[in-house]
Amino acid sequence: MNVLVINCGSSSLKFQLINSDTEAVLAKGLCERIGIDGSLTYQPEGGEKVKSDKAMPTHTEAIQFVIDALTDDNTGVVKSLDEIGAVGHRVVHGGEKFAKSVVITDEVLAAIEECNDLAPLHNPANLIGIHACQKLMPGTPMVAVFDTAFHQTMPEKAYLYGLPYEYYEKYAVRRYGFHGTSHSFVSKHAAKFLGLDLKASKIIVAHLGNGASISAVLNGECVDTSMGLTPLEGLVMGTRSGDMDPAIMEYIAKKEDLDIAGVMNVLNKKSGVLGVSKNLSSDFRDLEEGMDSGNQYAKAAMEVFCYRVAKYIGSYAASMNGVDAIAFTAGIGENSGTVRKMVLSYLGYLGITVDEEANKKRGEDLVISTADSKVKVAVIPTNEELAIARETVALV
Ligand code: ADP
């Protein structure tokens, strides 16, 4: 079956058409600047990537262009919509309502809408994408795959904050975690790749991208993760602060004459490695180059980032009373041997020894620990679209 995977943002929409039998990507692309002017980038399997301007006042036009491209006589990969068996939609927040992916019904749509408060920038956009697809592809089954679902197995002690309990009861304030599709995919794949029994394993997944999070996966289930009510908590990220003393907010608000929205903007967009590096870059390629050429702020950003990752790995080894494997994934985790090496330099006490040569490679399934290392360390490229396609096929 061919599955159309849709990841819809407020002004953009990423898509892939995946053949679920061969798991080949038949075509992929991106609509940008929806509601502003609009462009479609489209690439069929083995073909060239072509970007063209298209008027996209709403997501409905954007999805119509995607369908047109997929079924085009020259560049299309299917003859008609009939060859698309299902659509898998990424939905950011499923609150406590969704611990698994679900087939989309009217009740499901209403329940997703009830989670809008928890992800006001993302969920409404995800819903717009679903509605637009339903309009253009009536009769095609659709599935919602949630970023938060995999983390719903966390025990209460991991998801409750040290706040008045009423905030949890009244406002659903708790740890939810994000990147769940990736943590689920990578933990399962890591177990298989490393020859571990998933159901009897302790795996730590470090999803290190522009947004970054870590999870502790015990016997195949998430027991803790670093992002919280929102994706701001946890690791130091590209532009997000991650964990910090909450009192800093009031202190900075007074010093810089900012209101809450102003402080939140700083914490989300001007902090992280971008802020620490004095605005050099949020991209680790630039930071590594900066560090190598003696820029002290780039070095500080790299060190702060890697130290935080190492601290989380240590705390999750404590949560699970041990660790069998650590899997690095996402843009930085898959590509930066320097970051992996810096993180692992803190973890000798776990009996980890690094295979320096293997660690220089990137972008493929790799074991980067030595044969006698007590904990296996791997690089596992994540593939959220494939994970969404698999979940979709399993449900329809
Ligand atoms: P997101 O999905 O959160 O936008 P990605 O997982 O795509 O993030 O990761 C993007 C980040 O990966 C970039 O900002 C960059 O820091 C990092 N990255 C990509 N390639 C490399 C590389 N070769 N070396 C170091 N870092 C890299």
Report the separation in Å between the CA atom of 369 and the middle of ligand 1, taken as the mean of its atom positions.
Answer: 22
Mean pLDDT of 83-94: 97
Q: What is the pLDDT of residue 99?
A: 96
Separation CA 60–CA 230 (nearest Å): 28
**Is 75 near ligand 1, meaning CB less than 6 Å away?**
no
Q: What is the pLDDT of residue 23?
A: 97
Residue 355 has pLDDT above 90, yes or no: yes
Task: Tell me the C-alpha to C-alpha distance, in Å, between residue 100 and each of 148, 155, 159.
Answer: 9, 16, 17
Residue nearest to atom 7 of ligand 1 (CA): 331
Is residue 355 a contact partner of residue 375, using CB atoms and an 8 Å limit?
no
**Is 331 near ligand 1, meaning CB less than 6 Å away?**
yes
* Nearest atom within ligand 1 for CA of residue 339: 25
CB atoms within 10 A of CB 106: 7
Report the separation in Å between the CA atom of 330 and the middle of ligand 1, taken as the mean of its atom positions.
Answer: 7
Decide if 365 is catalytic. Answer: no
**Is 381 near ligand 1, meaning CB less than 6 Å away?**
no
271 is written with which tokens? Answer: 């902090």
Confidence of residue 174 (pLDDT cuts 50, 70, 90): very high
Report the separation in Å between the CA atom of 210 and the middle of ligand 1, taken as the mean of its atom positions.
Answer: 6
CB atoms within 10 A of CB 373: 17
Find the farthest-apart pair of alpha carbons in the chain and give their distance in angstroms, rounded: 62
**Is 235 near ligand 1, meaning CB less than 6 Å away?**
no
Choosing from 21, 72, 147, 224, which is the catalytic residue? 147
User: What domains, with CATH codes, occur in the chain?
Assistant: 2-146 (3.30.420.40), 197-379 (3.30.420.40)
Separation CA 332–CA 335 (nearest Å): 5
Residue 260 has pLDDT above 90, yes or no: yes
pLDDT digits (tens, 9 = 90+) for 48-88: 999 999 999 999 999 999 999 999 999 999 999 999 999 99
Sequence letter at residue 15? F
Residue 129 has pLDDT above 90, yes or no: yes
Task: Tell me the C-alpha to C-alpha distance, in Å, between residue 59 and each of 109, 129, 134.
Answer: 17, 6, 12
Q: What is the pLDDT of residue 108?
A: 97
**Is 283 near ligand 1, meaning CB less than 6 Å away?**
yes
Helix (H, G, I), strand (E, B) or coil at 355: coil
Short-list 346, 323, 336, CA closest to 379 = 336
173 is written with which tokens? Answer: 């304030």
**Substitution candidate for ligand 1 out of 147, 179, 210, 288 with most atoms within 8 A of CB:** 210
Residue 121 has pLDDT above 90, yes or no: no
Confidence of residue 10 (pLDDT cuts 50, 70, 90): confident
**Is 213 near ligand 1, meaning CB less than 6 Å away?**
no
Is residue 205 a contact partner of residue 183, using CB atoms and an 8 Å limit?
yes
pLDDT digits (tens, 9 = 90+) for 356-386: 999 999 889 999 999 999 999 999 999 999 9
For the chain, what is the mean pLDDT?
97
Report the separation in Å between the CA atom of 73 and the middle of ligand 1, taken as the mean of its atom positions.
Answer: 35
Separation CA 253–CA 199 (nearest Å): 47
Q: What is the pLDDT of residue 184?
A: 98
Residue 258 has pLDDT above 90, yes or no: yes
Separation CA 314–CA 299 (nearest Å): 22
234 is written with which tokens? Answer: 């946890």
**Is 209 near ligand 1, meaning CB less than 6 Å away?**
yes
Helix (H, G, I), strand (E, B) or coil at 202: strand
* Strands (E) located in 311-373: 325-329, 366-367
DSSP per-residue letters across 250-316: HHHHHHHT--HHHHHHHHHHS-HHHHHTTTS-SSHHHHHHHHHTT-HHHHHHHHHHHHHHHHHHHHH
